Amino acid sequence: MSEQKETLAVLGGTGKEGKGLAYRWAKAGYTVIIGSRDSEKAKVAATELNQMLGGNSIEGLDNLTAAIKANLVILTVPHSAHISTLETVKEALQGKILVDVTVPLVPPKVTKVQMPPAGSAAQEARQLLGEGVEVVDAFQSISYEHLMFGEEVPCDVLVTGSSKEARLKVIQLVEDAGLVGWDAGPIENSVVVEGLTSLLIYINKQYGSTHAGIKITGVHKS
């Protein structure tokens, strides 16, 4: 923990998933910026989390300013806001890693896998942002109920992305959040990872739960 950690921006961080991830990374020693279209909402969310943490390591800003100030950016917006948010921060993301947590859910049929023409939200982001941004897909299979209070999470995180180096960097972020991450291959595999969310929502509804997740078995991490 003596090593200086990067500044992370969680865009759409006023939502439950974003706040949960921000909380865990701030607790792990990162400087975290919560981004929102409404900077006042971001400030309220940051204050709430700082009170929980007993510190002042989280700041609330508008999405663009958050993306400019951060070394690495995490996107946790609904798919309906995916393209518009990316267009807002496109230039600020150049030369950085974007961790895309977006799932292409299409209400009301959220238990049915419905992928965008690009193949997945991550591939959609890659097409829009260009080669100057490494796009990594992660955290889609983690229910936000697991994140907020630092409890142990009995689920794994599959990480796909545009380069091996970027995936390994994000796996470190996964582990710093107290989770288990797996390199699940190139960005084309994100169609499987994102599609799992609808499947898990279906299982939750079918069996009366909110905590369905996945776990990789038969492999030992070195």
**pLDDT tens digit sequence for 82-96:** 999 999 999 999 999
* Tokens at 151, concatenated: 């409890």
Distances (CA, A) of 214 to 156, 181, 182, 217: 6, 11, 12, 10
SS3 string, 190-207, reads: HHHHHHHHHHHHHHHHHH
Q: What pLDDT, on a 0 to 100 scale, did the predictor assign at position 61?
A: 98
Could you count the other beta carbons within 10 Å of the beta carbon of residue 217? 6
- Contact 100/137 with Cβ under 8 angstroms? yes
Q: What pLDDT, on a 0 to 100 scale, did the predictor assign at position 3?
A: 58
Domains and CATH numbers, the chain: 7-207 (3.40.50.720)
CA-CA distance, 70 to 58, in Å (whole number)? 12
Q: Which residues lie across from 136 on neighbouring strands? A: 99, 161
The H or E element spanning position 45 is: helix 39-53
Q: What pLDDT, on a 0 to 100 scale, did the predictor assign at position 131?
A: 96
- Contact 131/144 with Cβ under 8 angstroms? no
Q: Which residues lie across from 59 on neighbouring strands? A: 33
* CA gyration radius, the chain: 16
The pTM (predicted TM-score) of the whole model is: 0.95
Q: What pLDDT, on a 0 to 100 scale, did the predictor assign at position 210?
A: 84
Q: What pLDDT, on a 0 to 100 scale, did the predictor assign at position 118?
A: 97
- Contact 64/39 with Cβ under 8 angstroms? no
- Contact 150/24 with Cβ under 8 angstroms? yes
Looking at residue 114, what DSSP letter applies? -
Q: What is the pLDDT of residues 35-57, one digit of tens each?
A: 999 999 999 999 999 999 998 89
Per-residue pLDDT of the chain (222 residues; tens, 9 = 90+): 345 689 999 999 999 999 999 999 999 999 999 999 999 999 999 999 999 999 889 999 999 999 999 999 999 999 999 999 999 999 999 999 999 999 999 999 999 999 999 999 999 999 999 999 999 999 998 877 778 776 788 899 999 999 999 999 999 999 999 999 999 999 999 999 999 999 999 999 999 988 889 999 999 886
Assess whether the previous peptide bond of 186 is cis (omega < 30° from 0): no
